[in-house]
A and B are shown apart, each in its own frame.
Chain A
Amino acid sequence: MVEIQDLKTSVDLGRGFVIKNPIMTASGTFGYCFEYARFYDIKKLGAIVTKAITLEPRAGNSGRRIFETCGGMINRIGLENVGVERFMAEKLPLLNKGGMDFVINIAGSSLEEYVSLAKICENHKIRATELNVSCPNVKSGCLEFGTDEKTLYGLVSQVRDEFSGCLIVKLTPNVTSVEKIAESAQKAGADAVSAINTLKGTGIKLTWAKNRFIKETVSGGLSGRAVKPVALGVVSRISQVLDIPIIGIGGIYDLADAFEFLSAGASAVQVGTANFTHPECAGCIADDLHDFMYENGIRSIEDLKEKLKGE
């Protein structure tokens, strides 16, 4: 049995950004975190990732934004957010006061926008940012940067020049070779990558009424349990080519799911869509992880990962 004070659940994501355990929450599914404080003590999480912040405020997409699918959901929110200026003035002080580690997710529609956002994060002494180069729901930018290795290299290098904290690049699965994209992020100076963002998908609902079909089409990003095998595949593949930490995302609902990602090569995980279904989900996984390690005498995440390789 391991002594409780010897139990080390922390994970180093680079540049001194050491989170107390590998359980994080994914961008866009946890607001700015205070919304979930009414459900549980969110300080038990390793870190939370904010909703994506853009340079200017964004109203998001009009029309239907949510479509439930078998084992998941499609969203086409379109990065609705208050813009970086209001975020830094209104939300950042609360996050700083909150006492938990957090990552600011930033998204741009041009190289210049990403660079400006990186500068602003640097000026506000943000410890970690996640570069959103993988949102499928906006007309220009964002996803374009995450699908071409050269473009991504240029973008990450320039952001790297401006931002001295932990730089995480969030990868899209909507590419031919995710290994090449991941390698170029690492080469350009990323400290970690997170994978995966949502899969591009379309939901169609047809209703027969008054002798005709009423058709509703929702195209956006698929998330939830349905994407877990895709995410595990991506994490396995990029773990073969990367030296930097990988944060696994996609259909994580419990500790067993989180273990599968660590087994595939991730060092930490983000809980996303599950927050909507089970508001305390991420906190429960953090508790369960702690209990599992304690009960089984596993001293660190490195030891756990070693054991999770299986036999």
Chain B
Amino acid sequence: MQVAKLKKHHKAKIISIKQVSLTQYFMKFVPLDDFSSKPGQFVSILCGGLTLRRPFSIASFDGNEIGVLFKLKGKGTEFLSNLRVGDEIDFVGAVGNGFKIENKRSLLIGAGVGVAPVFYLKTELEKMQIPSLLISGFQTEKEIPEGIECDKICTDDGTAGLHGSVINYIRNMIEEFKPEKIYACGPKIVLQNTAEIAQRYKIPCEVAMEKEMACSIGVCRGCVIKIKDKNGEKTASVCQDGPVFNGEAVLW
């Protein structure tokens, strides 16, 4: 029988919760017992009486405080946005595979709330003194989350930073920064474009995917995507086999 190395189900106390953009919140909480994580992994938070937990990429972890960035989307995030400092939350994590950090010049691409895991990755790369550049895209200036520092910003409507989708700037960034590895998180269209461009430049690329989840631990097969396999294709669960996949392996 498999023996648990580290407890995966935790209670935590909220130490700060703050609206950081028009629709986004940043919540920090301290787990009541041992916890560890790496960039690209996520936590699955119980949201009141809702049937399904909600998965959130870890946006920061300093050995004590865990931070998640979330966007108001529905009942789960609405519940979380109403929590206050001192409230207790219940979460499963850290789960998922996480990014494979390598000692290579790294271009990090975030889009919308997808900036969270690449922001965490950037902090870790900096600690390891691995050169990195983080470019993030948002719809408009009011959607840029406060406190998430990016090297470059683009907005769809041009109200801040570079004008246009982050997709339009990937090639430029590759030519200028000359990365040896690319990491991305955001909507599918951004990830697909990133993966295809990276492939053209022959740069290894990892993408962090998102999907509705039920169990978040690889049991229910509710969150599968299709990936390439030696026999053609196979399904892979975003929660356990992912959420990070090689850009080349994903069948978009």
Contacts and interface: CB of A to CB of B under 8 A. Distances in A.
B219 A31 contact: yes
Interface stretch (B47-55, B61-69, B105-113, B133-141): B47-55
Contact of A34 (B2, B46, B213, B235): B2
A212 B174 CA distance: 37
A37 B218 contact: no
B9 interface: yes
A55 to B, nearest CB: 18
A277 B219 contact: no
Interface residues of B, number: 29
A68 B50 contact: yes
Nearest to A35: B219
B221 interface: yes
B223 A38 contact: no
Interface in A67-87: 67-69, 71-73, 75, 77, 80
A280 B92 CA distance: 11
Interface in A214-271: 224-225
A201 interface: no
Interface string A18-60: 0000000000111100111111000000000001000000011
A277 B223 contact: no
A73 B51 CA distance: 7
A55 B221 CA distance: 19
B31 interface: no
A99 interface: yes
Contact of B212 (A37, A66, A77): A66
Contacts of A51: 219
A73 B234 CA distance: 25
A134 B214 CA distance: 21
B219 A273 contact: no
A37 B2 contact: yes
Interface in B7-44: 8-9
Given A38-B8, A39-B4, A75 B214 contact: yes
Given A37-B1, A38-B8, A99-B1, A73 B52 contact: yes
A73 B222 CA distance: 11
Interface string B136-175: 0000000000000000000000000000000000000000
B89 interface: no
Contacts of A67: 212
B224 interface: yes
Interface in B202-238: 212-224, 226, 234-235
B220 A28 contact: yes
A80 B2 contact: no
A80 B236 CA distance: 11
A66 B4 contact: no
A58 to B, nearest CB: 10
B2 A279 contact: no
A77 B222 contact: yes
Contacts of B92: 279
A66 B223 contact: yes
B52 A38 contact: no
A65 interface: yes
A75 B4 CA distance: 29
Interface of A: 28-31, 34-39, 51, 59-60, 62, 64-69, 71-73, 75, 77, 80, 97-99, 224-225, 273, 275-280
A-B interface, 6 closest residue pairs, ranked by CB to CB distance from nearest: A31-B219, A66-B222, A38-B4, A276-B215, A80-B221, A276-B214
Given A75-B222, A98-B1, 7 more contacts: A60-B235, A65-B212, A65-B224, A72-B51, A77-B221, A224-B51, A225-B51
